[in-house]
Homo-oligomer: A and B are copies of this chain.
Amino acid sequence: MEPRLRLGMVGGGQGAFIGAVHRIAARMDDHFTLLAGCFSSDPERGRASAADLRIDPARSYASFEAMARAEARRKDGIEAVAIVTPNHLHAPVARAFLKRGVHVICDKPLTATLAEAKALRAQAEKAGVIFALTHNYTGYPMVRQAAAMIAAGELGEIRLVQVEYAQDWLAEPLEATGQKQADWRTDPARSGLGGATGDIGTHAYHLARFVTGLPLESLAADLHSFVPGRRLDDNAHVMLRFDGGARGMLWCSQVATGMENRLVLRVFGTKSALEWSQEDPNYLWVGPLDQPRYRLTRGGAGSGAEAARLSRVPAGHPEGYLEGFANLYAEAARAMVARRAGVAPDAAVRFPGLSDGVEGVAFVDACVRSSRRNAAWVRLGL
């Protein structure tokens, strides 16, 4: 067995949500070992977080620049870094590691602005490192199954793409209470131009894009902030037109009372249709024209190789959010291990990367531009 990949992390100190998720995801399949970090902009919290994580104090850094420099000098320096900071820091942190040849696993959205996103892509391509963006929902096995079925033509020609991502955690002005997650996510300086659009709309868009394979032709968006005083959108209604003629709708909301993390994709083709819901991720519903609707289960009859290669347990034993997230880490690890060996990764390996990241930021940018023009149709600025 290959030695574990040496991993560092920027962000994700005590009290952060997504940093802990990345660490479990990295650990799940035993491909990585976390050895270094700059876990907080607050040095005291950073040190305490490192101690919690059993990190050698010498490799707990006060700044990401110091970390990038110091790790690059070590023989046993990190091979990959996980970036789990607020959005506006993704680009500078990524650049610091990219230029030293360190692979990057970065939370989404890629950057806070489209210009930054394109610049980062250019630099990363030059650096030749592996760059994985954790649009974790496309790591779910049944999402892979859905994409495989569409790629194989099982749906016929795609006509309709209906996607929604509804939450309610910002139904009230949580940011006014100082709650950390709400605070930066509703702050344009740290989150970028999109609120719900950037935080969850990008997930919904990527999910539709990944599963259908269809490039977007144009969109018309109606963004709104329902909560008084909120500085970024907390709800977006978007009409979609895809290359080739499919149409659809995307709805994302963080004020949808009673909704927890309802990300649902439905795709309708001339021959069949698919439906997947993140809150019940082990199922994929299939609705063929003139045949009974059926339910594929992860690992069950009719579920194929693409789902199976990202599964750990048999059908009927549900896998969840952490396993889906871990699948992206595992996919990235396969690419990194292949890179170590100087070979190409297995053809099946697939994870969101820079072009998905640029497209996600372009989606937010287009929504904001459209909404400012009263939901005029606009194209992605790719």
Contact = CB atoms under 8 A, between A and B. Distances in A.
Interface string A207-249: 0000000000000101010100000000101010100010111
Given A256-B273, A322-B319, A52 B160 contact: no
Given A226-B159, A247-B235, A302-B292, A313 B21 contact: yes
A291 B262 CA distance: 17
Contacts of A54: 1, 3-4, 30
A99 to B, nearest CB: 31
B321 A322 contact: no
Please indicate which of the listed interface residues A3, A4, A52, A323 has the most CB atoms of chain B within 10 Å of its own CB: A323
Interface in A254-269: 255-262, 268-269
A375 B239 CA distance: 10
Contacts of A322: 28, 312-313, 319, 322-323
A78 to B, nearest CB: 18
A315 to B, nearest CB: 5
Contacts of A253: 160, 268
A318 B280 contact: yes
Contact of A256 (B261, B268, B374, B375): B268
Q: How many copies does the complex hold?
A: 4
A247 B318 CA distance: 29
A350 interface: no
Contacts of A375: 220, 239, 375, 377
Contact of A27 (B27, B226, B237, B249): B27
Interface stretch (A84-92, A107-115, A293-301): A293-301
Interface stretch (A61-69, A281-289, A337-345, A352-360): A281-289
A171 to B, nearest CB: 6
B317 A319 contact: no
Contacts of A288: 257-258
Interface string A140-169: 000000000000000100011010100110
A314 interface: yes
A119 interface: no
Contact of A239 (B239, B245, B314, B315): B239
A289 B171 contact: yes
Interface of A: 1, 3-4, 17, 20-21, 23-24, 27-30, 51-54, 155, 159-160, 162, 164, 167-168, 171-172, 220, 222, 224, 226, 235, 237, 239, 241, 245, 247-249, 251, 253, 255-262, 268-273, 278-282, 286-297, 300-302, 312-323, 374-375, 377
Give the top 7 A-B pairs by smallest Cβ distance, nearest first: A258-B287, A261-B316, A260-B316, A294-B294, A320-B320, A318-B320, A317-B321
17 contacts: A1-B51, A17-B313, A27-B28, A159-B257, A172-B289, A239-B375, A257-B289, A258-B289, A258-B293, A260-B300, A261-B314, A278-B316, A280-B280, A292-B300, A318-B320, A319-B321, A320-B323
